[in-house]
Amino acid sequence: MIRVAILGATGYTALEAIRLLQRHPQATVTAVTSRQDIGKPIEAVHPSLTGSLSLPLSALDPDRLAEACDVVFCCLPHGASAQTVRALREAGLRVIDFSADFRLRQVADYEAWYQVEHPWPEQIGKVAYGLPELFAEEIAGADLVANPGCYPTSAILPLAPLLAAGVIEASDIIVDSKSGVSGAGRTPKLVNLYGEANESIMAYGVGQHRHQPEMVDVLQRFSGTGPELLFTPHLTPMDRGILSTIYVRPQGTDAAGVLQLWQQQYGDSPFVHVVDSLPATKHVSGSNHVHLAVRQCGSRLVLIAALDNLIKGASGAAVQNLNCMYGLDPTLGLER
């Protein structure tokens, strides 16, 4: 049995990770940590776990965790996460990091976008990026995996095979994404209050969202050059889900060609599905599945991707990475 610790266990993604691991036949949660709720039972913070998990929230102690666990899901914020991950790795623990601290391959890019000095810069560029559909071989041999961002997952999966084949212009990509309020986390923020978010939709982080350099960095591995990508996220009045509408210019292909490339890349994937109907967040809510569709619109192709931001965009991806790291069936703990 794989023993798993959840760090920063009071947030939404931590709760989803616990729920998924509770139904995993070869993994169990053996420790949960928090900086502010030490000593409280986990069910006091997440009442939905009452009767199914009874662990006290403890302080973060890498040496103690190394005795109780095999792998850690690190759900800490950027900056704080990297420093902690370093201590965990030195204690011999395998780590799946939910933060952005190891997703980018250049220290300068990270420090420019996140405005902090990286606590473990020598590790940048050496960490497996946690999308098994594209990087399974790297993840399988890794002791540290960078769990992808939710928005980047919705853009990278549809775009990577097309850029690799050279059938779309890398210099003209527009990613327009909508997300539910859970994407902003559990800490209260004014724009996420019911009276602010309900019956409204708003763009935010225009030209400044930190997921944009992540998209560019990962997609560059497939295009050979840094794609010119414009990303605009929107907050929508729903609990969960991401719908990304992506506008690209084809180069010698059409919608049928895109479908063929997607099928070649993801035909054996248990979680990425090419669909005929237009994807919707309801279709994938609560699952680790991604729905992809394409439409030809004049001189552009419109790619559409839908996923659950808390599952495939976070905790489900982590469980999928766990399965890949340990050579298990990728669907364990992730069945609908």
d(CA 266, CA 256): 15
Contact 312, 335 (CB under 8 A): no
Spatial CA neighbour of 60 closest among 120, 2, 7: 7
Alpha carbon distance 256, 263 (integer Å): 11
d(CA 61, CA 84): 10
Residues 244 and 179: their CA atoms lie apart, in Å, by 9
- Exposed (0-12), middle (13-18) or buried (19+): which is 117, by Cβ within 10 Å? exposed
* Residue 69 vs residues 6, 29, 139, 220, 298: alpha-carbon distances, Å: 10, 8, 19, 36, 54
75, 150, 297, 324: which is the annotated catalytic residue?
Answer: 150
Contacts for 51 with CB less than 8 Å, ≥ 6 apart: 43
Give the SS3 label for residue 321.
helix
Contact 34, 8 (CB under 8 A): yes
Q: Is 150 annotated in the active site?
A: yes
Which amino acids are annotated catalytic? 150
